[in-house]
Amino acid sequence: MLANTSLHGGTAPSSPLLRSLQTHKWSRIHRALSLLRQRKSAISPLTTPIAPLNPTRTRVRALTEAKDSNTEKGSVDGARYASQPFSVKILVGDRHILVESGYIGRQASGAVMVTDGETIVYTSVCLADDPSEPSDFFPLSVNYQERFSAAGRTSGGFFKREGRAKDHEVLTCRLIDRPLRPTMLKGFYHETQILSWVLSYDGLHSPDSLAVTAAGIAVALSEVPNSKIVAGVRIGMVDDKFIVNPTTKQMEKSELDLVLAGTDSAILMIEGYCDFLPEEKLLQAVEVGHCAVQAICKEVEALVKVYGKEKRLEAIRLPPPELYRHVEDIAGNELVKALKIRNKIPRRKALSSLEDNVLAILTEKGFVSHNEAIGVAEIIPELLEEEEEDEEVVVDGEVDEGDVHIKPISRKIVPLLFSEVDVRLVFKEVTSKFLRRRIVEGGKRSDGRTPTSIRSINSRCGLLQRAHGSALFTRGETQSLAVVTLGDKQMAQRIDNLVDEDEVKRFYLQYSFPPSCVGEVGRMGAPSRREIGHGMLAERALEPILPSEDDFPYTIRLESTITESNGSSSMASVCGGCLALQDAGVPVKCLIAGIAMGLVLDTEEFGGDGLPLILSDITGSEDASGDMDFKVAGNENGVTAFQMDIKVGGITLPIMKHALLQANEGRKRILVEMLNCSPPPAKKLSNHAPLIHVMKVKPDKVNVIIGSGGKKVKSIIEQTGVESIEAQDDGVVKITAKDLASLEKSKAIISKLTMVPSVGDIFRNCEIKSIAPYGVFVEIAPGREGLCHISELSGDWLPKAEDAFKVGDRLDVKLIEINDKGQLRLSHRALLPDSERTTNPAKDSGSSQIEAGNDSSEGKGTIKKVASSLKDGKHCEDKHGQDGSTLPELSSPSKKAVKSQDSLTNLGNTTKSITPAGDGSSVDKDKKRKTYIRPVTGIVNGETKVG
């Protein structure tokens, strides 16, 4: 293969063999090899210059603490390869970040520690010694891990060792990978690995954007050949002001979460989420972020000149330029016809057949060899091996240049051979070239659309009868089946983070991309990084339209299964997911849609005017062959999520502005099509969705519901058949049930447990728990009893309570008094008909009537004591309800306790009736209670008065 040495304006470093030749002063051979390599390097440029953006407006100051004054660019090679320690501070935003290298990880090709506050990210870069098989995908792998020890914690799971990467760690890996990949030079096939660890976390300074910058610096200092230095920052917006690398506290108030990465001249990657932010504000945030990135890159560039290692340019292997001409001559006409096929699968089969045909023709002509050591690359070893045979013994380190002779050898005409992998790589590049030319010259894409056209859209809801909500969204050959499941808090997704509190997500979207969606076979397993990234993008796009937990107390799980794919499946998940949420009865704020934008940058090369060509609603082939994949979600008023990946050296702000405005027009057309969904969303809870009732009790009553060790709440669940009961510390109680009957039953029990009774309340069908000589103790609610004095048990005179009642009997009672200790006094006589409500002999005749009804001495003593208290105007109070005592206590007279028969009658006509078997609580119509019942999704007014 050929080595390109024209990059960065320098020459490739000599190989060990060439350095040996220089030492022995084989100048003629060395000059011949140099000329040969120069001819090889003049094949084609690998990079395209990008127009610089506006000059930076962020001032950056670097302080080099450990710098050797003798270490200059012209120093010896050994000094350039040594890991020299250095420490530099770079001003980013309103504070400095500290960059250190040469202290740890000295055996890696590049290793740095970047510190922001007390958050430290360590990143290393290594590359394999031997190249892997050539492919069209750069062999780069990125791993990012947040050590729990960084925050002084251990994992909450059974295994205390960090294991499989969590979703947010995978997302950070993607943030690192996406901006670095476009800067890697083509033809470099040595496997490259970037490892990043969070070693310290202070809870204020986020490590993800810091990890992007650390990876960019480590690659720049390493031997990996890349075209530009990469850095990344996060941008927030608080009070309409943009903040570079905001703290976590500032992000809590921020209206924008934007992560941007780029070089000193262009933007490579953006990913962000906001609450319907206008495009103009988004562009301002991008400009602020890129200015900060430019400042970092300039400081890092100065470090690379002093401490950077030589790049492995000699390892670059590119296909010979002659192969491009051969492929175009063989497949040109057929390639134009294949690219006009509208449908994806037939077009893919036609291109695959054409590729095999090209390979077969080149093989027949003798241009293809299965040997890797072929072509011009064979000349150098042959020449060196033959000259080494005549090498003379050097004495005392001296060599007479005239004694070195090149023996005359016959010139062998070596045919130019190509490897099979080179043919396939070139065929793919030629296909992309023809596709781009067709779009620019003819103004027509593969499916016949113009650059701004949107594919045909079809959507339907209610596809799955048993699901809580479902929608099938189809756009062209891309299709998403979205399914919504509603549940309580137990269905929420728990995330173990560096912070002390575990994160609980009440809404999460899970995206899956099975191989069948592209007509292929493949292995099914854990979600890939691509699936996790696409799912998070769609999830964050839909979050702003969801109701608050107070308005809709459900946990929402949204699944998006891609059943067909030909570009922009993540944006199809946004559209289908929005319709599925409506079908499940979730009161979303508005409809939103998503669209993916593409780009053809070098239009002048294909006969255009030189201006970038923006493509709306790109397909898979346009994504692969184009220069940009820019996904934007939102409505006609603003953006909720966006993500941009670049396959070239970067784009400028004017290009991004053009893409955003064109995306806005595309979203408007998609929203109109979504309104024509047939059948439309149900917009009400499904019959199969659970019911959730929210009620409010006093916080000090929460323990009464839970009980010792959770026994009480478990017994309520078993008794009523509800799915769950969640009691929060602030007094909010959520009951989840499958049917209304079990929901009402559990609600009544909890209402009785936590109620605050008031004088005048009537309690029906209450059980007598115990009997005393002076009355009976009646349970008006679970665990709550009151005393019904013997004088309030009947309209007739009773000598003993057990003469008329026994334990287990049930009767209706009315609350006539609550003393200062919270003890309850009940009356059954007040609820009797007027004909049965005779004058109480005990109150009219005094102790003589009571004594007449008792013969035993023990009974006389007790009755005399009670009678004496009645003479003195005192009454017997219950000490049983609050502290568990069953002994009566004499207290001072109370105005509420002593009532005439007329006043009791009036109370009986105006009081509220409370039945333990029913609701068991008083009703306050001034308060609101939220009950979600299947036929309606509104709020039912009226809240049970609870304690």
Distance of CA 140 to the CA centre of its chain: 24
Torsion of CA 908, 910, 915, 919, to 10 degrees: -170
Helix/strand/coil percent split, the chain, to 5: 35, 25, 40
Q: Note the pLDDT tens digit of each residue in 500-536.
A: 666 789 999 999 999 999 999 988 988 999 999 999 9
52 prior amide bond cis, ω within 30: no
Contact 114, 97 (CB under 8 A): yes
Burial class, 368, CB count within 10 angstroms (exposed 0-12 / middle 13-18 / buried 19+) = buried
Average pLDDT, the chain: 78
Say which residues have a Cβ less than 8 Å from residue 313's Cβ, sequence separation at least 6.
3, 4, 5, 7, 12, 13, 185, 225
Reduced to 3 states (helix: H, G, I; strand: E, B; else coil), residue 183 is: helix
What residue ranges in 805-867 does DSSP mark as E strands?
810-818, 824-827
Q: Which pLDDT belongs to residue 74?
A: 39
Question: What is the rounded distance in angstroms from the CA atom of residue 88 to the CA atom of residue 66?
Answer: 8
Could you tell me the CA-to-CA distances from 17 to 61, 82, 246, 381, 394 in Å, in that order?
A: 43, 21, 52, 10, 17
Q: Assess contact for 369 and 417: CB atoms under 8 A.
A: yes
DSSP 720: H
CB atoms within 10 A of CB 570: 28
Secondary structure letter of residue 69 according to DSSP: T
User: Who's near 821: CB < 8 A, 6+ residues apart?
Assistant: 879, 882
Task: Quote the pLDDT of residue 417.
Answer: 76
CB 86 within 8 A of CB 302: no
As a dihedral over the C-alpha atoms of residue 413, residue 415, residue 416, residue 419, rounded to 10 degrees, the angle is: -140
- Take residue 858 and report the two structure tokens written for it: 């023990």
Q: What is the pLDDT of residue 875?
A: 37
- pLDDT tens profile 260-309: 999 999 999 999 999 999 999 999 999 999 999 999 999 999 999 999 99
Task: Phi first, then psi: give them for residue 369, nearest 5 degrees.
Answer: -130, 145
Token pair 């699944």 is found at 559
CB 750 within 8 A of CB 789: no
Confidence at residue 700, expressed as pLDDT on a 0 to 100 scale = 85
Interior angle at CA 252, CA 213 and CA 557, nearest 5: 95
Q: Token digits for 657?
A: 């502005």
CA nearest to 573, candidates 472, 444, 651, 644: 472
pLDDT < 50: residue spans in the chain? 1-81, 372-406, 409-414, 839-947
| Two structure tokens written together for 691 | 């019911």
pLDDT of residue 836: 64
Contact criterion met (CB below 8 Å) for 2 and 376:
yes
Strand ranges across the sheet with 732-737 = 724-727, 732-737, 691-696, 930-931
Residue 255 is given by DSSP the state S
Q: How far apart are CA 85 and CA 99, in angstroms?
A: 11
Give the position of tokens 């009464």: 704
Distances (CA, A) of 463 to 411, 588, 810: 74, 20, 53
| pLDDT at residue 11, rounded to an integer | 37
